[in-house]
Structure 1
Amino acid sequence: MTVGLLRVAKRSALSPGYTQVLSMDQEPGIGMSLGIWNLAPGQGATAGSSEAETAVLALSGTGTLSSPSIALQFSRPEWIETPPTVIHCCAGESVQARNDGDTPVELIVVQTRNRRPFSPRHYRPENIQIEHRGKGILQETCHRIVRLVFDDNNGPPESNLVLGEVVNFAGRWSSYPPHSHPQPEIYYYRFEPPSGYGYGELGDDVFKIRSVTTCITSGQSGIWKEIDTKALRSIRNTPGLSAKRVSEPPDK
């Protein structure tokens, strides 16, 4: 499948409770679901599926993520400065979340169909792999921070997901050099301040990207220029590929 930008879904504000941003049932070619839990103080939620593996990432707030084997407390007042806490489980398992603080908790839920069993994986902020990509070249114009939560190197071999965050600096390029890969990929954007924005080139098309924007790409070269932004990056691996690892190419 070779597609460009499938959809740019924008919302001015996220509603309390659960917001479905992308559904794998509605976008079978992408094969991933993306949702946001907005939990009030004291509120809890459960994420899981009998057909899909599930990853829950704590985007902001103070609370607890738990699976049958462990409970992880998190406090993330500033997503720019603090790596995420994540629990990743297979189909048939679930992740419980609870808001233990005085402000809302925001969670990102990513799923893809996969019934292969694996033990739940837990990632604390100190476990997240931090890479400064593009540093020291092109006058720092493509320097960004990549927070890789899991891929084929540290995630379950039975998994079909890659998950991470990319923190981009004001006025600099992300995803440099322009590249493509056959696997579907989701970018979910946040800006600080929320009035920030960026521009993305995908083939011959140019898109203005604002906060709470979802971009889905597959099989087409692209490059993005951001202003004070962070993107959650999720990729669905395609079974049968000889090279399952999916990542940005080395900087040149």
Structure 2
Amino acid sequence: MADTPTASASGPIRPQPGPGRILNITPETAGWDNVAFSVVELTPSEPWSGVEPDRETAIVPLSGAGRVLAGEIDTPISRTSVFEELGRIVYLPPSTPYEISTDGSLTAAVGSAPAEGRYPARVFEPSEMKVEIRGGGQAYRQVVHSLAHPLPAEKLILYEVFVPRGTWSGWPPHCHDGRDGSPYLEEVYYFRLDRPEGYCMHRNWRTEEGFDEAVVARDGDAVLVPKGYHTSVACPSSNMYFLNYLAGELIGEERRTPPCFDAEHTWIEADWGAGAWTLPVAGAVPSS
């Protein structure tokens, strides 16, 4: 059984040995209403199955190869690793029994959110997912809209983000907690590092409430965003990948609504190199 957070603990939520469910975040353990998130490790003798009567589900392969059988869907899923290729995503409406199996090994993310069943089961191919490069300077990253508008779902929103080592993501910082004109969305970050001895840092804060937390995450850890502005950074020796599952008040086409960005930091978007130092500074002369 994976570590589970309390309502005031955003992480790190660390994986437990497999096979089986190695990470498990539920609305009850997270202290919110919408997002559930698990990571499962499968072997030929340890498949994974489930059904969510009142929730939509999205299955994302992380490494290995296997198969998803759910209603009329019978599809292979595979991925050499999150750092090397994108994978197809299986979307299931409520009350759809599913089984994930493998002839070798497979690690997959399985997440869900409340839903009524407005959209049918389907498979999303990587070619359908919008890919963009965001930011600049030390906040340069690749964002994949893995299950985001215009790809259809009720509440679920998924992103996969690729961040070069020593680089920030989510800059300028943003929020989506229903404050400052933002929509209300709960969010899970699932981190992977291409050098597992490295680490990353994630910060959540809302200054006017005295809320400020910094979480140090390792390869395979998850972190919650309970409220406030947030951002993440990779250490200088590890490239960083993270998978986001979000859900909240936005439904269907409303999922296109952007977050709110911290006005104190948006100035940098006009020129990502403005004010950057070239060393040495302050009249210092390096020693020979």
Normalising by structure 2, report the TM-score: 0.75
Match of 1:119 in 2: 120
Structure 2 matches for 1:1-252, cutoff 5 A? 6-11=9-14, 13-41=16-44, 43-101=46-104, 104-134=105-135, 137-138=136-137, 141-156=138-153, 159-182=154-177, 183-203=185-205, 204-227=212-235, 228-238=239-249, 243-247=254-258, 252=269
Shift of 1:15: 1.8
Distance in 1 (alpha carbons) for counterparts of 2:251 and 2:204: 27
The structure where helix makes up a greater share of residues is 2
Distance in 1 (alpha carbons) for counterparts of 2:26 and 2:213: 24
Shift of 1:205: 3.1
Letter of the 2:75 partner, please give it. Answer: L
Mapped contact 2:59–2:91 kept (Cα < 8 A): yes
Letter of the 2:112 partner, please give it. Answer: Q
Shift of 1:82: 0.5
Distance in 2 (alpha carbons) for counterparts of 1:127 and 1:95: 23
Mapped contact 1:82–1:125 kept (Cα < 8 A): no
Shift of 1:30: 4.2
1:104-129 C-alpha deviation (Å, 9 max, x unpaired): 21011101122334211211233322
Larger Rg: 2
Change (3 A) 1:194 1:28: same
Q: Report the secondary structure of 2:195's partner residue.
A: coil
Distance in 1 (alpha carbons) for counterparts of 2:100 and 2:257: 29
Distance in 2 (alpha carbons) for counterparts of 1:197 and 1:114: 35
Distance in 1 (alpha carbons) for counterparts of 2:253 and 2:151: 18
Give the root-mean-square deviation of aligned CA atoms.
2.6
1:149-173 C-alpha deviation (Å, 9 max, x unpaired): 11231113xx111012111110001
Structure 1 stretches of 5 or more lacking a match?
A: none
Distance in 2 (alpha carbons) for counterparts of 1:40 and 1:144: 33
Mapped contact 2:66–2:76 kept (Cα < 8 A): yes
Distance in 1 (alpha carbons) for counterparts of 2:46 and 2:203: 40
Change (3 A) 1:52 1:170: same
Shift of 1:242: 10
Q: Report the secondary structure of 1:100's partner residue.
A: coil
Shift of 1:83: 0.7
Normalising by structure 1, report the TM-score: 0.84
The structure where strand makes up a greater share of residues is 1
Q: Report the secondary structure of 1:26's partner residue.
A: helix
Report percent identity of matched pairs.
20
Structure 2 stretches of 5 or more lacking a match?
A: 1-6, 178-184, 206-211, 270-288
1:137-190 C-alpha deviation (Å, 9 max, x unpaired): 33xx1111112111231113xx11101211111000111111101211111111
Distance in 2 (alpha carbons) for counterparts of 1:242 and 1:129: 16
